[in-house]
Amino acid sequence: MNTEDIRRMHREYVMSTYAPGLALVRGEGVRVYDAEDHEYLDFLAGIAVTNLGHAHPRYVEAIREQAGRLVHVSNLYYNEHQPRLARDLVERSGFEVGKCFFCNSGAEANEGLIKLARLWGHDQGRYEVVSMRGSFHGRTLATLTATGQDKVQKGFAPLPQGFRYAEFNDPASCREQIGPETAAVLVEAIQGEGGVRPAHRGYLRQLRKICDEEGVLLLMDEVQCGMGRTGRWFGFQHYGVQPDAFALAKGLGNGFPMGAVVAGAKLADVFHPGHHATTFGGTPLACAAARAVIEVIETEGLIENAGRMGHMLVEGLCSIAADHPRWIEEVRGLGLMVGLVLDRPAAPLQKKLQEKGLLALATAGKVLRFLPPLIVGEDDVRRALEITAAACDELEQEGTEASR
């Protein structure tokens, strides 16, 4: 099928919750190819999902091998990969004592955090969750309510009760929202959908202190910045804090649907049989895929690579920003989670990059987000910067000509 055939069938049979452009049919490493075999440098990685790139041999082997042995049996039975994966995540989290609940997506993981917090606080009459404006936590009714963006919530009222909002990077604002019915504070180390906005130095430490003083939980949403993307296993590890629990998904499965709630000692044993469940969470196949992800990240030094390549990408984008000071405001992010902040809508720049063979994503209106796979190399970063520089030059020239 060519691109037009795919588009025609999509319009006829698929609900229009997205407005896709390209029809991508295969990938290899840091590159993807459309139905006409045009090549694109993938600096989106399925929105921070394919951390190992496309068709990584070890990852493919793990899925193929497990698919030939056992795909699904339900959580009514043990499977050998689930406790091993849970151990791997707890050991890398910094928790001395911890346990995991496995699910299928970031929204489910955050939903699990919210339920865990409510169950923990139930006997104390605590059920409210304080989240941050500009945050993004998912599209279920509970997680879109936790999301501090009106555009995500529009049209779905009445929304569930029990959510309050504070200003991101403002500890005093958070303290003001905490009351006798508050169970938890939910925050991202870096707001991804909110425009690649990292927490200020000291902010998360202050939140940890406030939560301890108020007797509430500190929960972290690590769905987008977890699994090595920022140059640490988890984003909160840059800030010297330990949450009571955190949510994972996206890069955990490298494209195979996989989510997790990772809880420390305070919350590890709150859920009992009947409190929470999932049919597909933590299947042998999903856990084998996630274990392969962790193996490859460690054996290939991808966390360190994310730090090095992220520094190279940021330096290059800062140079481009310096060449266009009238409309590029700043570059921000950590590791390979980087935003180019404009003074205008970022969609035209995203489109021009795609036309030149580079995939990135406009978010929060005026931010262009770069999320390359953690396997990205120096030549890939140089090429992405060359394309970005050329696209910015063209946009500036077009703007100059239009104003004449």
Cα angle at 208 between 258 and 260, to 5 degrees?
10
Which of 250, 271, 366, 370 is labelled catalytic?
Answer: 250
Q: What's the full length of the chain, in residues?
A: 404
Q: Is 223 annotated in some ligand binding site?
A: yes
DSSP string computed for 73-87: --TTS--THHHHHHH
Q: Is 247 annotated in some ligand binding site?
A: no
Q: Is 214 annotated in some ligand binding site?
A: no
Residue 43 a catalytic site member: no
299 and 372 Cβ atoms separated by less than 8 Å: no
Residue 250 a catalytic site member: yes
Strand duo 128-132 + 182-187: pairing: parallel
- Nearest Cα residue to 262 out of 40, 100, 119, 124: 100
Q: Is 139 annotated in some ligand binding site?
A: yes
Pair of tokens at residue 339: 């935003």
Which of 102, 163, 168, 221 is labelled catalytic?
Answer: 221
Which of 43, 95, 101, 136 is labelled catalytic?
Answer: 136
What CA–CA distance (Å, rounded) separates 367 from 363? Answer: 5
Residue 244 a catalytic site member: no
The amino acid present at 112, given as its one-letter code, is: G
Q: Is 222 annotated in some ligand binding site?
A: yes
Q: Is 400 annotated in some ligand binding site?
A: no
Q: Is 143 annotated in some ligand binding site?
A: no
CA atoms within 13 A of residue 375's CA, in its CB half-sphere: 23
Beta strands per DSSP E along 133-189: 163-166, 182-187
Give the active site residues.
136, 221, 250
Write out the binding residues for N(2)-acetyl-L-ornithine.
139, 278
Write out the binding residues.
106-107, 136, 139, 221-224, 278-279
Write out the binding residues for pyridoxal 5'-phosphate.
106-107, 136, 221-224, 279
